Structure 1
């Protein structure tokens, strides 16, 4: 059986960590803040976009899902592009493309244009995290990777903490367009700093890009999600317009796996999954990310549609969860180098699942906010103790040469399962609203436009139904997490 070679014994292992590692990590944080801000700001604006464009949730959610799909479409090719063009150069291009996409999204004139420009934005965003992780993995020693990765995780604190509040204020008092325009000064600053501080790397004789694999995987995922979403809109999965894309997408994905197992230079190196730690981390991310990230659009909608709150207040009510997530991530990142990822991730999933179960069972039209905020704080703490430690566990045994493929793969899983979770959550909520609120046809704007007080119990029940599915998925993530190593990485020998 082939295993992932540890960088400590790899003859082409990365050189000793650069003294600029901390500065590099902080610049990467600033770049990642753009993407996390963007996602959390848009989540708060879904209800307003649905109203302004007179579009149902199943359509508006493509502002989020289309972006995530574009992220996923770019991630598989990132490992090849890193070798072909160099990590530093590719990172600068990614930031520039994301910034340009933000400008165009802010200027969108209808929902179709907004979705299109969000996809363009996602093409740049899809490269930011995996290329950044590659740069970081190459600069940090394995026994210090957890601490450095926790620094990168600051972006996941700042984005969810400030994004909903900032987005709510922009939506309520300025314009939703500034959700995207705000990325422009950040993007310019990141480009200037990265060009100054990032080490120059020489492009290598890259492997040939697996174009057939790329043409199988990305359309396969997009087609499959499209079929699921259309099925939610039509409240059924038995029509040809739903079955054809679902089956076609599934077949394309199966064909991609078959090619990846036989191709000389596959788009995704499936041999990485022969390593138990990498495979366990991937399985954990598949389940946890779909339930955790997939339901992030729900809480702001609940507060606005069921409780009648403004977008700003919906953002403020999300602060405890964001604070808990960021704090837990920093603590877990420092403990993982001493305790081992298995123990931390199991604890994180348990805490997050418990919070989800409490939130789901207590969710109603008049539940005290403090109850919901405490439950979501537990969910946030669980997420902060799970996602980044799981990705660290997957990456710490990778060699210098395997870093691009490994970081691209785990980021692809995390991103795509978040997109799958978002699509499924919107489908479930759309169907639940249609069943419980006659005449709404599953549209959030239509549900909110009726007598909210009279419909609030039925609306809350629709959200509770959707959250219950996510809670089950999070609990299932405990199964692969049990296979993660319980011991820390050994110190790198000098």
Structure 2
């Protein structure tokens, strides 16, 4: 009898009735934390592009190393973002989102104190892993926290704030470097700490935990194959222009293409693949991805 009453009460809960996990009074904290977390990735990338000449001069990085300071982050982010999104379904969006933010800011602090280009590249790759969990989580947690009639407005605010932070990145980066000199590039990574900690505090203290929606397994094998395949392709293309690296470019590209085909075969065999290859039978989907690739 008590179980039936609990079920009835649960179904009449305002949160459940709206199809969300978050009460109305707490939704603003979800939106603010998502905007702050998105700002971490967008500001970091756009400011770093402006600061790259200063960074190269300070660390003595070659052109190829400078490319990999950007490539390492983009590579792990793009290769693992689908697995990162699935982690939110598997473990709960709030838990996965907080984990991604924490990993991102920890790697940011390590980047800020990196003594040489090789260590900076390694921690930029770890930053990308954190971003692969954080970036899809920022939009997904908004969609799950807001009911359908309010969701469009919330996502619009998030998108506008993300566009604004992306546009402000180069301006802030140029101003800081001009005012304080080349050595201040390390502060670009350190600024992620307060933004990330505020976001984590809001999520843990002000937002209730959501329940996982799926018990699907994470396709870690597919994620590893995608990372290796795209990493070898990126390395091969970068090595073409690197001094003394031309001999390694062709074997790396060939190995990357082979691993890409292995990845496709692996995904077709998986019960819960990282990406449903059947989507590419949809002409609009395939065409949009082909255009994005080029």
TMscore range, shorter length = 0.7 to 0.9
- Give 4+ residue runs of structure 1 displaced > 6 Å after superposition: none
Instruction: Name stretches of at least 5 consecutive residues in structure 1 with no aligned partner.
Output: 1-13, 288-494
Asked whether the 8 Å contact 1:107–1:177 carries over to 2, the reply is yes
Asked whether the 8 Å contact 1:33–1:158 carries over to 2, the reply is no
Rounded to whole Å, the distance in 2 between the matches of 1:248 and 1:143 is: 49
Report how far residue 143 of structure 1 moved: 7.1
Rounded to whole Å, the distance in 1 between the matches of 2:85 and 2:64 is: 33
Q: Give deviations 1:241-266, integer Å, cap 9, x for gaps.
A: 11111011111112212222232111
TM-score by length of 2: 0.82
Rounded to whole Å, the distance in 2 between the matches of 1:223 and 1:40 is: 25
Among 241, 266, 286, the alignment partner of 1:232 is 241
Which structure 2 residues correspond to residues 112-123 of structure 1 after superposition, within 5 A?
A: 112-123=118-129
Task: Give SS of 1:51's match.
Answer: helix
Which structure 2 residues correspond to residues 62-211 of structure 1 after superposition, within 5 A?
A: 62-140=68-146, 146-172=152-178, 173=180, 175-203=184-212, 206-211=215-220
Among 260, 270, 275, the alignment partner of 1:263 is 270
Report how far residue 275 of structure 1 moved: 4.7
Task: Give SS of 1:177's match.
Answer: helix
Task: Give SS of 1:61's match.
Answer: helix
Which structure 2 residues correspond to residues 4-43 of structure 1 after superposition, within 5 A?
A: 15-16=18-19, 19=24, 20-43=26-49
Instruction: Name stretches of at least 5 consecutive residues in structure 2 with no aligned partner.
Output: 1-16
Report how far residue 71 of structure 1 moved: 1.4
TM-score by length of 1: 0.51
Distance 1:40 1:26, change over 3 A: same
Rounded to whole Å, the distance in 1 between the matches of 2:153 and 2:291 is: 21
Asked whether the 8 Å contact 1:91–1:127 carries over to 2, the reply is yes
Report how far residue 280 of structure 1 moved: 4.9
Distance 1:245 1:86, change over 3 A: same
Report how far residue 92 of structure 1 moved: 0.6
Asked whether the 8 Å contact 1:26–1:151 carries over to 2, the reply is no
User: Match for residue 352 of structure 1?
Assistant: none
Which structure 2 residues correspond to residues 46-445 of structure 1 after superposition, within 5 A?
A: 46-140=52-146, 146-172=152-178, 173=180, 175-203=184-212, 206-234=215-243, 239-275=246-282, 278-287=285-294
Deviates more, 1:278-287 or 1:166-175: 278-287
Asked whether the 8 Å contact 1:80–1:206 carries over to 2, the reply is no
Aligned length: 273
Task: Give SS of 2:266's match.
Answer: helix
Report how far residue 154 of structure 1 moved: 2.9
- RMSD after superposition: 2.7
Rounded to whole Å, the distance in 2 between the matches of 1:231 and 1:253 is: 20
Task: Give SS of 1:232's match.
Answer: coil
Distance 1:171 1:110, change over 3 A: farther
Rounded to whole Å, the distance in 1 between the matches of 2:121 and 2:214 is: 36
